[in-house]
């Protein structure tokens, strides 16, 4: 029971970290959009900031690997290797922030370039990550056993594992961004707009990627489920996501300009470049995981033959 409470606590902390990183990522993309349209070269000036965003995302991925290790050997390797990399990167970035302040590149510890507390907020974040990195290194090199825990071995081949890891990582990055948009939209939405009902469908769809991750991590990864249960759950998720997607595109057909009027700030680079890809990317990200889960849960031909023989 204690282990269950402890693990649930760690999952909640990971969810909060996910939220914090998602908001940081949205701020980064918005700032990047502003800098793209700027005539001033800010590469050197904002290098520590860009590095801090990458480190925060990397830290989130490492925490996830630690929560869902394949075996004890790989868990120790995760602690050691990623702990060292995190320590080097976070220390370097914190040092860069200090040097940039000391040399006048930033007006002070609270310059306010990105947020009201920038760069102090990110300096503190890097020092926090550095503290966790040192802890990871200690855990990875300590001689006493790590203790009883559940492992999550991968049952497929190496090629599928590599491809799957790449696409899951890429999907998670985009899901992070849309989750941040979901929470920020509650503050920037034009509640007096005549197209509020269109924005409601957009807001709900923005929350789908993060919601799918919560469902997967909290209710599926830690519990053994039958193929039938997985099939039913993935079908329900796909039904919900496809329904929200349909309502979103119906709203887009009726009020073609509502995203430009009410949500340009969320997809600033998309509009600056006139790509208009955000609605389609959001629809893909929302529906792809339950679709893949549904296909993966379908009975295989071998299973069908076995059931027929019985």
Contact 37, 272 (CB under 8 A): yes
pLDDT at 306: 47
DSSP state of 192: T
Domain boundaries, the chain: 2-141, 158-309
* Nearest in space to 138 (alpha carbons), one of 84, 100, 88: 84
- Say whether the peptide bond before residue 119 is cis (omega within 30 degrees of 0): yes
Distance from chain centroid for Cα 166: 14
Please tell me the predicted confidence (pLDDT) of residue 39: 62
- pLDDT of 96: 97
Q: Is it the case that residue 135 has pLDDT exceeding 80?
A: yes
pTM (predicted TM-score): 0.89
Q: What mean pLDDT is reported for the chain? A: 87
Radius of gyration of the chain (CA): 22
Highest-confidence range of 36-50, 90-104, 112-126, 267-281, by mean pLDDT? Answer: 90-104
**Percentage of the chain with pLDDT > 90?**
53
- CA–CA distance from 59 to each of 21, 65, 77, 84, 217 (Å)? 9, 10, 15, 12, 17
What's the confidence (pLDDT) of residue 309? 47
pLDDT bucket at 256, cuts 50 / 70 / 90: confident
Residues β-bridged to residue 110: 119
Which residue intervals of 68-190 are DSSP H helices?
72-77, 83-102, 120-141, 158-188
């Amino acid at each position: 029971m204690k282990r269950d409470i402890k693990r649930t606590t760690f999952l909640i902390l990971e969810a909060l970290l996910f939220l914090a990183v998602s908001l940081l990522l949205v701020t980064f993309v918005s700032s990047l959009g502003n800098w793209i349209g700027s005539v001033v070269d800010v590469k050197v000036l904002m290098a520590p900031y860009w590095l801090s965003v990458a480190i925060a995302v990397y830290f989130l991925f490492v925490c996830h690997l630690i929560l869902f290790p394949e075996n004890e050997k790989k868990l120790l390797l995760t602690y050691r290797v990623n702990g060292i990399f995190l320590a080097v990167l976070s220390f370097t970035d914190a040092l860069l922030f200090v040097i940039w302040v000391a040399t006048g590149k930033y007006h002070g510890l609270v310059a306010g370039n990105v947020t009201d507390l920038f760069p102090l907020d990110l300096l503190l974040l890097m020092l926090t990550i550095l503290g966790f990195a040192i802890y990871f290194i200690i855990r990875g090199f300590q001689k006493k056993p790590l203790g009883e825990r559940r492992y999550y071995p991968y049952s497929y081949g190496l090629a599928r594992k590599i491809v799957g890891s790449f696409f899951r990582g890429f999907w998670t990055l985009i899901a992070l961004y849309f989750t941040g948009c979901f929470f920020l939209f509650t503050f920037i939405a034009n509640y007096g707009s005549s197209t509020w009902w269109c924005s409601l469908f957009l807001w709900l769809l923005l929350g789908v990627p993060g919601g799918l991750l919560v469902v997967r991590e909290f209710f599926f990864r830690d519990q053994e489920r039958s193929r039938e249960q997985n099939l039913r759950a993935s079908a329900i998720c796909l039904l919900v996501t496809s329904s929200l997607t349909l309502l979103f595109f119906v709203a887009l057909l009726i009020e073609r300009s509502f995203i430009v009027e009410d949500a340009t700030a969320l997809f600033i680079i998309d509009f600056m470049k006139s790509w208009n890809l955000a609605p389609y990317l959001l629809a893909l990200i929302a529906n792809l995981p339950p679709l893949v889960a549904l296909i993966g849960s379908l009975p295989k031909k071998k299973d069908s033959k076995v059931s027929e023989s019985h």
